[in-house]
Structure 1
Amino acid sequence: MISATIGFCNRSLSDAINNIWQFFRGIFRLSHNKEDSLTGLERLQASPMYQILENYFTDNSPENTELLEYIEQIMDLNPEKIYFVRCNDEKGSSAIVLQLSEYHLLVLPKVYYLHGKVTETGAVRILDFFNIVKMFSKSFIIPTEGLCLDMDDFHALFQGTIYSSKFKSFQNGKYWHKHFLDYQHRWHSTEYYKRHYGIGFVEAQQVVLQTVRNI
């Protein structure tokens, strides 16, 4: 059965960054001597994941640690795969599902509404989702996959009534999350995205574009 709960905690920015460093330290199997640690740090700084993190904090206020902590908690769970799930409704309701093992899926409770008719807070949430997708899709450390569901299946996902075998049987929208990153429409045309994902999808991409322009 899919669980729909996950705990959150408040930590300082320095603690969050330190924990992320420890995560990467384990990945690169750094030894404790100074010379190897410096070599490992250089490798970390050259990694796509580090560059995305660095870009995020260049573009956003370091005082706002919520997104960093959220990403940190995802990495702490060490998922085998991350699913970005989108509902085919007018709001473009989207969520994140972690595959922790073959039969254990965890639905993160946040829902992101990817459309153009949003408040300032809604626009921030769209950008947060964009940054999460960008970070994990381009780091290649954890495999990612997209999934588009109808309203009934999306709601059932949050109610915990979809088993992992049925969840994995869904096949629609495998690359939608990567298409969402294409807010400048370099891979496909605007009409292509409207036809496949609806006008709200393109409007949400425009929210990202306007935010990036204003940074």
Structure 2
Amino acid sequence: MFHKLIGRRNVEGLTVRNALRELEGQGFFELLDQVYLSGKPYEGKEMLARYDRTGTGVMYEGWFNINYQPLFDTNGQVSGILSLYVEVTEPVLERRRIARIAAERDAILQQLLEGVIVTDAKGCITFVNEAASQLHGVATLNVTPEEYTETYHLYTEDGKLYPFSELPLSRAVLRDEIVTEARWRIRRPDGTEVLVVGNARPIYDEQGIKIAAVLTIRELESGY
């Protein structure tokens, strides 16, 4: 497996520095020296290595979990190092791809004039755009459906405290409903109120599994 990782080059009998010259300056040789001199193991997570994997001179970028374990002789002196490598390039790149998509989504949603609130599959709020923040006077994340009403100060049109289970976003999360043109009141921390209208719906992936829910809102009147 290690031969496969390094392009099946023949490294037996070579020092690490001679076997993998392109790793110079990336910190791996220094870590091996540290383990050899100290006798203490080292464990690294998702470490980037740039090296010639194919033998063509093209540098490959891979991420690895590494474990350097010192080996001791009968006198208790370090006689070598056992090096373990697990490649995690695919999950690292996938996580970065998802983070990039999320960043692009957030940038787009921040430009909308409508308020937008996004939750995860269980209804925990993960995103509040600027318009929604201004409407509510707050933009608190990690709020669960049971906390929507209290955290965001939500009331029915006639001024009663809105039961959390009947809120449009809660209905989308808890009952997979699509809610359109619902109305309610928001009482901001400064005491002002706005009447808003909004739409909520669950979001599914390509397998039909619910992955999120979204609420869009806009103001109808203000000045209370």
TM-score norm. by structure 2 comes to 0.20
Select the structure that is richer in helix: 1
Greater length-normalized contact order (CA 8 Å, ≥ 6 residues apart): 1
Q: Flag the structure with larger Rg.
A: 2
Which structure has more strand as a fraction of its residues? 2
